[in-house]
Amino acid sequence: MDITQIQNRLNSLSGWQAKYREIMMLGKKLPALPEALKTPDALVQGCESNVWLHLDLDENQERLVIIGDSDTRIVKGLLAIILATYNNRLPHEAKEIDAYELFEQMGLIKHLSPSRGNGVKAIIERIKTQVSAFQ
């Protein structure tokens, strides 16, 4: 699912519980990261839960390829939304995206605990920092 499909789906749901269930389902669909990739350098600092993130550039397409995982279901669902936002983008496109603002527009941030909100920010910042290396 791309980010537009996710936004449309979440916006069509009424109530936080329905959105929460959908986010959990998105996390369930995210492939598990092999244990060998769950390294200390892949761990995102600033998250309450463990979040591992790997970002690369497809040399042929010059588009971002991002994979990740988390040890909690809700964070894995939030991560799925973030990955859908940035995956397959050109680096300069990714730099212009404010995924945190997207979360606010979808009404998700106000329902997350402050530590979860900070975790979302940390994941986004990690992606933006790594994207800068490709430019």
Q: Which are the catalytic amino acids?
A: 47
- Cβ proximity of 1 and 22 under 8 Å: no
* DSSP label of 43: B
- Cβ proximity of 62 and 93 under 8 Å: no
Produce one character per residue of 54-77: b if its CB has 16 or more CB atoms within 10 Å, e if not: bbebeeeeeebebbbbbebebbbb
